[in-house]
Amino acid sequence: MRYRAYIDEDRDLMIAYDTDEAQQEAIDRVEAEAEAAGRKAAQEFEREMDQSMREAIGSDRWEAAKRDADGYDF
């Protein structure tokens, strides 16, 4: 990681750091893996909740109570 100093348009001294390509690729990879893990966890929670509600109130009532995919109830 490299640090650099520069003067911005308001004539203030600014300090920034640059990452090299390998570092940025590693950061991007970790972020992508975290996003994928979050999506997977959300999908698993949704499946578990769906099954739990079907068992608790019955499939017909649960389907009737669920919102439409677009978020509107019509």
Q: What is the pLDDT of residues 10-63, one digit of tens each?
A: 989 988 877 777 788 888 999 999 999 999 999 999 999 999 988 888 888 888
Which pLDDT value is given to residue 30? 95
Read off the pLDDT of each residue in 61-67 and give the average, rounded to a whole number: 80
pTM score > 0.85 for this model? Answer: no
Q: SS3 of 12, please?
A: coil
Distance CA 53, CA 58 (A): 7
Domains of the chain, residue spans: 2-65
